Structure 1
Amino acid sequence: MTDTIFALATPPGRGAVAVIRISGPASGRALAQIGATSLTARRASLRRLVDADHREIDQALVFWFPGPASFTGEDSAELHLHGGLAVIETMTAALLHTGLRLAEPGEFTRRAFENGKLDLSQAEAVADLVDAETSAQRDQALQQLGGALSRRYEDWRQRLIHVLAMLEAAVDFPDEELPEDVAGRARPDLDALLLDLEQALSESARGTRIREGYRIALTGAPNAGKSSLFNALVERDAAIVTPIAGTTRDVIEGQLVLGGRKVLIADTAGLRETDDVIEAEGVARARAWAAAADLELHLVPVDEPPPAVPDGVWLIRTKADLRPNDGVGISIASGHGLAALRAELTAAVVAATSGSEFPAATQARHAVRLRDAHQHLERAAHHLHEAELASEDVRLAIRALEAVAGRVDVEAVLDVIFSSFCIGK
């Protein structure tokens, strides 16, 4: 990383302020070339910034962050310019003329990781915090950025190192005066770790639900009221509503916030047998979306007999205005029951995304490593009477946990992770 990068860190377009970030060994030289000299570290300095011909570009605030006490660990700076497009374009040209290059997506955070300022899970949290749309997503990202996930995995790692030490003692020093059955003495610690990982795996979906959204599928026969309920929940006319059966032929997704949590809800094609190829494809997609959802709401009008539904599926009686005296179900036309349904959905979403501990997996990558570690520990427990085999499996479990923080196997995932970042981060 001998080159120096820069990027616009604020959204492009007209604005009051535009921030350009700079990082790399030539940061100080580039600042001097554009007129930003005699800077005090980590304090705002008002400077007249110029181009290569010493024509004024802007009067701006300049912040100087000498490494390693910076976000990236390198010499860094920020230019707080007026947000006009002409100012941004002229400053970009001036910085390119000094020999700097435009940053790739996520390159600032990648440099922070590679310089030891963040571990890989904290770097992922930076992107999650930028993308956060709800208070729950923000809180989860802040905790992860603060090291909550790293500390949990490091605790497991240290305990596994202790188990590994006992097992390797039995392998490397069989003739020494070691405590009898030292490998067997590792079993309580190994069993406790297995229990912890099993619990973590059982709730690993919680972090993903918060980050990506809790998924609710609306299913039912044609004209059961799915599109009407969908529009009512997302509070806009997102789905077409007509009396014609089979109007919805594809999955229509909408987003809402319940209890501070992001929720993805899907209006699906009416479930029925059909010879229409297009409608049949819509029904297949409806079933697939419902199968992958966290919650399925199966809608049936109040004037039809209620069907049996599988455990976990909510039966929602619709068109309550057809039988107003019954007081059962919901009615989009009158609004009956909608507030109660929204409250019940909110409670379900909050319950599914709440827990006493920080989730052990907020990304699919974390869950994969958790499962790997658990499988290796199960094998170690099975082969505990053969200390050499058990040691190898414990070593592999440690390696799986270390991969979450980026201690090992990191090159294979760096490009994938940081390519999803926005420019300037």
Structure 2
Amino acid sequence: MNAADTIMALSSGAPPSGVAVIRLSGPRVREAFMSLAGPLPLPRTLALRRIGSAERQLDQGLVAWFPGPRSFTGEDCAEFHVHGSPAGIKAILQALADAGLRLAEPGEFTRRAFENGKLDLVAVEGLGDLLTAETEKQRQQALARYDGRLTEKIENWRQSLLDLRAEIEARLDFSDEGDVIDDLPATFSGDLAVLKASIQDGLASLRSGRIVREGIRVALAGAPNAGKSSLINALSRSDVAIVSDEAGTTRDVREVPLDIGGQLFILLDLAGLRDTDSRAEAEGIRRAERAMAEADILLWLQAPDVPEIDLPEVNGKVLKVATKADLPGGQLDSDLSLSVTTGQGIGELMSRLQNLGETLTGSEPSLISHERDRLGLEAALEALGDAELRISQWELAAEALRQASLALERIIGRVDTEQVLDRLFSSFCIGK
């Protein structure tokens, strides 16, 4: 990427479409805009224009002019809102290329916004999450991060750290001054403990944040023919899993995404648990056991026509489900019963899953949701722990507090960002 280049891209969906948005950013935007759309309109105001040269009209549409630094990227920007014709879009992009513009790389608009101080790294990640959000809770979480709520929290932590560092460094640098007392304030240790506890609380919310971003993993497990695949099909309202009365049909872990109440659930159809001589089925059972251990929720399925097996120990929440309620059979120890044939109990199961999901994610979206967040906060907490241990050794305590500040600054993107940026922006779409 070369910041001296002027870039362009189709920022809307793939044509054909009703409207196409072509974005421009860089030092030659003004010149390119005027060559195709005439005089500049008022900033941030849409104007209807003929688009093309004096000899050749390419289209007619709305245009907008965003002079830097009051633009998304901080540079001069413009947008052409034209008809979503593949031929029309191609002609406009070619005319812009003839004017010296080049096609943007994935995420290049957002990267320029970051490099020009319009967004920090947390907001960039929030924007990336917002672009890929599929459920309401994912949208809420991504928007909160993009709007700067996590940045504000981190800045508050940094300010507390700066205050603590100032107390120590004043004594190190100005110990000969009469107005600097020798001892640290009586509140110093308490303030340090409060800051540490606040960061620990933020880190504790990582699991709920991760669940919102990646989905609640729900393992459907039990004996062969307990109705796992049938229930998956009923919940997803499609034939995504093979249903057969032959035991051992499911050999691998099948993942089915499902939106329940605005929360993403990942349903896991697992192999039935039993002793087997088949190596392929045994591998499927091993994978099932691993998926059960890692699941957030376990639906333990039991059926009246299938021998009961022992429920294994798992870490997630367990919901015992008696399937095939339309068949005669003995009383099963369960939290609810259902039948995919009649539909009995399916609605109740969906409600139970939604309620369990809310206990895992909370009512407010967690702002701590990325692995990078975890690494930064853990590094900050480790440094704060070192400062507590060395509070009587001012030089070492000051250095530990400085390391804690650096760990928080890495989350925002003020230091050591290049590798993170390369990885992050490679996942963005072109035109964003």
Q: SS where residue 386 of structure 2 aligns?
A: helix
Q: Distance in 1 between matches of 2:38 and 2:303?
A: 70
- Alpha-carbon distance, 1:113 to partner: 0.9
Q: What do the CA deviations read for 1:30-77 (whole angstroms, capped 9, x no partner)? A: 1122243242221112222225x8321111211111111111110000
Stretch of structure 1 that moved more, 154-163 or 327-336: 327-336
| Aligned pair partner of 1:333 in 341, 356, 361 | 341
Q: What do the CA deviations read for 1:278-331 (whole angstroms, capped 9, x no partner)? A: 222222222222222211222222454463443633322222223378596222
Q: 2:16 matched to 1:14?
A: yes
Q: What do the CA deviations read for 1:61-109 (whole angstroms, capped 9, x no partner)? A: 1111111111111000001111111101111111111110000111111
- Alpha-carbon distance, 1:236 to partner: 1.2
- Say whether the 8 Å CA contact 1:106–1:421 is kept in structure 2: yes
Q: 2:347 matched to 1:344?
A: no
- Alpha-carbon distance, 1:336 to partner: 2.3
- Say whether the 8 Å CA contact 1:376–1:393 is kept in structure 2: yes
| Residue in 2 that maps onto 1:224 | 226
Q: Distance in 2 between matches of 1:38 and 1:152?
A: 40
| Residue in 2 that maps onto 1:263 | 265
> Which amino acid is 1:337 matched to?
G
Q: Distance in 1 between matches of 2:26 and 2:111?
A: 13
Q: SS where residue 388 of structure 1 aligns?
A: helix
- Say whether the 8 Å CA contact 1:302–1:329 is kept in structure 2: no
Q: Distance in 1 between matches of 2:397 and 2:328?
A: 67
Stretch of structure 1 that moved more, 32-41 or 240-249: 32-41
| Residue in 1 that maps onto 2:82 | 81
Stretch of structure 1 that moved more, 372-381 or 322-331: 322-331
Mapping of residues 271-350 of structure 1, within 5 Å: 271-302=273-304, 304-305=307-308, 307-310=310-313, 312-323=317-328, 326=331, 329-350=337-358
Mapping of residues 114-129 of structure 1, within 5 Å: 114-129=115-130
| Residue in 2 that maps onto 1:103 | 104
Q: Distance in 2 between matches of 1:419 and 1:173?
A: 48
| Residue in 2 that maps onto 1:143 | 144
- Say whether the 8 Å CA contact 1:167–1:186 is kept in structure 2: no
| Residue in 1 that maps onto 2:400 | 393
- Alpha-carbon distance, 1:17 to partner: 0.7
- Alpha-carbon distance, 1:242 to partner: 0.5
> Which amino acid is 2:75 matched to?
E
- Alpha-carbon distance, 1:174 to partner: 4.8
Stretch of structure 1 that moved more, 154-163 or 288-297: 288-297
- Alpha-carbon distance, 1:207 to partner: 1.6
| Aligned pair partner of 1:371 in 361, 378, 387 | 378
Mapping of residues 38-57 of structure 1, within 5 Å: 38-50=40-52, 54-57=55-58
Q: SS where residue 326 of structure 2 aligns?
A: helix
- Say whether the 8 Å CA contact 1:152–1:360 is kept in structure 2: no
Q: SS where residue 337 of structure 2 aligns?
A: coil
What TM-score does the superposition give when structure 1 sets the normalisation length?
0.94
| Residue in 2 that maps onto 1:214 | 216
- Say whether the 8 Å CA contact 1:36–1:62 is kept in structure 2: no
- Say whether the 8 Å CA contact 1:149–1:359 is kept in structure 2: no
Identity %: 45
Mapping of residues 397-408 of structure 1, within 5 Å: 397-408=404-415
- Alpha-carbon distance, 1:228 to partner: 1.0
- Alpha-carbon distance, 1:412 to partner: 2.2
- Alpha-carbon distance, 1:170 to partner: 3.9
Q: Specify every segment of 5 or more residues in structure 1 that has no aligned partner in the other structure, as ranges.
A: none
